[in-house]
A and B are shown apart, each in its own frame.
Chain A
Amino acid sequence: MRPVRVAWTFLRLGAINELQYRLNFFVAAFQSLLAVAVALVVLRLVYSHTTELNGWSEPELMCVLGIQILLGGVIRAAIQPNMERIVDEVRDGKLDHALTKPEDSQLLVSVREFRIWRTVDVISGGAVLGVGLARLEASVGAGEALSFAGLLLVGGVLIYCFWLVLATGAFWIVHMWFLAELFEGVYATGRWPIGIYPGWLRYSLTWLIPIGFAITVPAEAVTSRLEWTTPLLALAFAAALFLVTRWFWRFGLRRYSGASA
C-alpha cells in the first residue's frame, strides 16, 4: 500500500519533529481539558432544564460531544495543518518542492504535516465518548462498533475533502487566512446533533459542510439510531466528494504559477 507507506514516513517524521517540544504537549493537554470541561458544563446546564433534546438524552449527547472532540483531534493533528500549509505554499511559491516529487501530488500535500500533540483531543474525546456510552448502559455490539468505526473514517474523509476544496481555492484567492477560523466556527456546530437545527442549516451541515455526516451519523451508530440507508448514503457521498475533490485539485494545479515565476 504505497500511499499508506508515504503517509507513515511523514507521520514518523512529524512525530520526531514534535517530540522535541515537550512543552507543546502540556499546552495541548491543558487546552483539550479546558475545552472538554467547558463543553461538559454547557451540556449539564442544558440538561438541568430538560431531560431530552430533540429525542437525545444527556448520555447520548455526551457521545456526540465525544465524537466531535475526537474527530476534532484528528482534524487538528493531521488534516488542518496540511491544508494550511498548502495555502501558505501556494502563496509564496513553495509548493514547487512537493510538485517535483515523483508521487501523487494530492497525497503528498495531504500527509506532510502531523501534529502528534493534538492527538490528546483524540484521547479526551474517546474518554467522553466512553463515559457517555457507560451512562447509556446499553451494550454496543460488534456490528455497531464496526459501523461506528467505518462511519468515523467516512466522516474523516468527508472533512478532509471539504478542507482540501477550501485549500485548493488558494490557487485563485491568494489570502485565505480566514479558513481556519471559518472552519472552527462551523465545526463547533457539530457538538449538537444536526437534527436540532432548522431545515436550511441542517441541509447545509449535511451536504455543504458535511459535519452532520461526520459527527452525528457515527453517533447514531453507537446510540442505535442508525437507519440502514444512512451508512450507504454516507459512503456514496464520501466517494463522490473524494472524486470531485481530486478533479478540483488537479484543475487548481493548472493555475499554479509559483511566486517568483
Chain B
Amino acid sequence: MAAVDVSELTKVFRVPEREAGLRASMRALFQRRHRDVRAVDSISFAIGGGEVVGFLGPNGAGKTTTLKMLSGLLYPTAGEARVLGFVPSRRERDFLRQITLVMGNRNQLQWDLPALDSFELNRAIYRVAREDFRRLRDELIELLDVGDLVRKPVRNLSLGERMKVEIVGSLVHRPQVLFLDEPTIGLDVTMQKRIRSFVAEYNRRYEATVLLTSHYMADVEALCRRVIVIHHGRILFDGPLTQLGSQFAGYKTIEVALANGAADLSRYGDVLERDADRVKLRVEKADASRVTALLLSEQEVIDLTIEDPPIEDVIELVFAEASE
C-alpha cells in the first residue's frame, strides 16, 4: 500500500475580487464579486513508504494547498487523497498521530518558554509513553545538536535555532509521514545543510515517508531522488530528479579546457562562460556527441565534461514553458 495516494485531487478557492480605489470599495460593500481559483487541479500521484519526494513549483503553484489537504487541514473540492490508508479530511486521531506538518515560516512552540516545555505538551497531546518520549526526544536533540538550546526561552533563539527545536517538537511522536513545507526557508547555508542531513537520517532510521517543498534546489538534490513538479495546480513532471533535465532541457553544457585558451569556440555552440583556458558551451542535446567529436578533433583539448544543465535552470525552463 502506498503511504500517500492521491487521485484527481482538486481544491477550488472562492476569493473576493474588486478593483482598486475607494469607489470600487464602496461598490463592493453592496455587490460582492468572487472568482474561483483552482489552486490544485485534478492531480494524481502515489508515494511509497519510506520515499522522500520533492514537491517543486513556483509560488502559488498549489504545493502548500496540496500539503494542507494531505495533512487534513483543507477539505478537497473534488478527488480523493489517502495517507497511510486514512482519508485526511476526516482528521481521525490515529491518522494525525502518525503525521507531522512542519512549516518553515510558522512556529508552534510556546514563545516565552523553553522548548522542553512545548515538547512535554506535545507528549501529552500525542499520548507518547514517558519512557519512549524521553528516548526519542534525546535522540533528536542529539541528532540536531540542540542540547543547549532547548532550555532557553524560544524567543531568545535565532531563526535557525528555532527551526531546529521546532523540528524536534514536531517529531517527538515519531511520525511515519512528514510533510515539510519550506523547512529551510531563511536559514543560512550551514543550518540548511544540518537540517537536510537530519531529514535524511530520520528517513533512514525510521523509514519515514517525506514530502518536501523547498525553493532551495540544494535541499531537493540532497534529499529527493524523485520530484513532482507542479504549476498552476497541475502536475508537469513526476519522476526521478535525474530525468527532469533530460525531459525538459533540450540542451547540454560542455565544459572544455583548452591548451590554447584564446580559441574562438562560438561556431560549436553558445558560449556561456569563459574563464582563462576553460570555456562553457551550450549545445542542442542531439548535437552534443557530434560537437564533442569535433572539439576533440579540431582543438587541443586538455579536459572535457558534458553535463545536464543545473537543476535550477531546468526548473526555470519548465515553469517558463508552462507559462507560455
Residues of chain A touching chain B, judged by Cβ–Cβ distance below 8 Å, are 5-6, 9-10, 13, 16-17, 20, 93-94, 96-97, 99-103, 105, 108, 254, 256-258, 260-261
Contacts and interface: CB of A to CB of B under 8 A. Distances in A.
A93 B68 CA distance: 11
A258 B96 contact: no
A2 to B, nearest CB: 9
Given A100-B71, A100-B96, 8 more contacts: A13-B121, A16-B117, A96-B103, A100-B73, A102-B97, A102-B126, A257-B74, A260-B105
Contacts, number: 70
Contacts of A103: 93, 125
6 shortest A-B CB distances, which residue pairs? A102-B96, A97-B108, A102-B93, A9-B124, A102-B97, A261-B65
Interface of B: 13, 39, 64-65, 68, 71-75, 91, 93-97, 99-101, 103, 105-106, 108, 110, 112-113, 117, 120-121, 124-127
A101 B110 CA distance: 15
B103 A261 contact: no
A139 B106 CA distance: 56
Contacts of A261: 13, 39, 64-65, 68, 73-74
Given A6-B125, A94-B106, A99 B65 contact: no
A64 to B, nearest CB: 37
A17 B117 CA distance: 10
14 contacts: A6-B124, A9-B121, A13-B121, A96-B101, A96-B103, A99-B72, A100-B71, A102-B93, A102-B94, A102-B126, A256-B73, A258-B74, A260-B64, A260-B105
Contact of A99 (B73, B94, B106, B112): B73
Contacts of A101: 96, 125-126
A43 B108 CA distance: 46
B115 to A, nearest CB: 12
A84 B96 CA distance: 25
B255 to A, nearest CB: 40
Contact of B106 (A16, A96, A257): A96
A13 B68 contact: no
B101 A100 contact: yes
Contacts of A100: 71-73, 96, 99-101
Contacts of A96: 68, 73, 101, 103, 106
Contacts of B105: 260
A105 B73 contact: no
Nearest to A255: B75
